[in-house]
Homo-oligomer: A and B are copies of this chain.
């Protein structure tokens, strides 16, 4: 028997295929896919793998971008799919919280919550499952307003690699009676266990939003504008996204139906997507569209005059451009993608430095970047213009970018995609600190334990 009793198991190649292929094209090999339906069945699978000496990889929505959700090509690693783990969906309306199994997709969670006027406020281009979202601590486009998964997680159920089930935290928001162990697992890419259930904080759904495309007067002006918006629009500000001309150009070329909102279709060097939103539109509220226009009009008069131009439009049309960037860049040619994080001022400085450095050393590469300037996240995408990538070129280019991002600009080499085979080289290069911290932290815990 390939697995523990009573658990659905796939072993035929055609049945397993979907579980072995990742979204970045990677394909692994595996003898078996387990499809447990409860936390206890996950524990059975984990124990079974332990006893059999079989490595396993946990997979929920399989939308991850670092190759962490599929097995390698050696062929001995089992897939522990959490996609049928749907035993729990318990809404606590008064507490604005939801206890939910790892196998629910984000879109399904929010569809079910809509009738109650609530949602899980992580806004992503993809549609992952809750388990993977917790494991990678995704942020997304409205981090500025709602924070990341960590900030919106009240409790977790985790199956450790020896099959022990831990229930960490609870629906109680204020509880400081010892270390908050759930944080060991959030954003750790499954290092210490498999997440089977989470208790999530919910927020009132957005009922009104206003969006503009803003052309900054200079690179430096972008942060001036951000601070102006944070002060004048305050808690209404929900997105401040940066898009480069190259990324927008590829999006328009790739998505024919996409509306080009710029005069004569001339794409600016940089555009910022600015959004205000709120959960209501009350009779006493100035319409958000008017507020946004007024805040941006003020910005003409402040020091540095950060706004060169601004275009208003229906939120779904403007977001359609933002959401088309990824596919557009992917279609433009061989892609070398980075998910970087910086302090907010370093985003601009890093881009400027890389424009020079890559122009000199990798002139055949085009920078097609975009990102979440409001929280320092930068999807630094490079497209090779002159034909296919070879491994050596890709590695030397990646090494150059990562060295600058981490060593020269103090950034993160994985802002919101977590750790996996695709960035393992950089984890080994820059993650020494992680290993030291693990050892030191373990000793500190041991001392306390003795």
Contact = CB atoms under 8 A, between A and B. Distances in A.
Interface of A: 92-97, 117, 136-137, 139, 143, 145, 147-148, 150-151, 160-162, 164, 166, 168, 170-181, 183-184, 186-189, 191-193, 204, 223, 227, 230-236, 278-280, 282-286, 290-291, 294-295, 298, 341-345, 372, 375-377, 410-419, 427, 430-431, 434, 437-449
Nearest to A93: B227
A139 B174 contact: yes
Given A177-B413, A180-B186, 10 more contacts: A150-B180, A160-B444, A172-B411, A174-B372, A176-B416, A179-B438, A234-B235, A282-B295, A284-B290, A442-B445
Given A178-B427, A413-B177, A294 B283 contact: yes
Contacts of A93: 227
Given A175-B341, A204-B234, A170 B410 contact: yes
A147 B151 contact: yes
B231 A204 contact: yes
Given A280-B232, A375-B174, A418-B176, A445 B137 contact: no
Nearest to A423: B177
28 contacts: A92-B345, A148-B174, A161-B447, A166-B437, A174-B412, A175-B412, A175-B415, A176-B189, A176-B415, A177-B412, A177-B431, A178-B188, A178-B419, A178-B434, A178-B437, A179-B191, A181-B441, A183-B183, A183-B184, A184-B445, A192-B445, A193-B444, A204-B230, A232-B282, A234-B279, A284-B290, A285-B291, A286-B286
Top 8 A-B pairs, shortest CB-CB distance: A183-B183, A235-B235, A175-B412, A174-B341, A178-B434, A174-B415, A94-B345, A192-B444
Contact of A343 (B94, B117, B227): B94
Contact of A174 (B204, B234, B377, B440): B377
B291 A284 contact: yes
A162 B235 contact: no
A439 B443 contact: no
B440 A446 contact: no
Contacts of A230: 96, 204, 279
Nearest to A430: B177
Contacts of A439: 449
Contacts of A117: 231
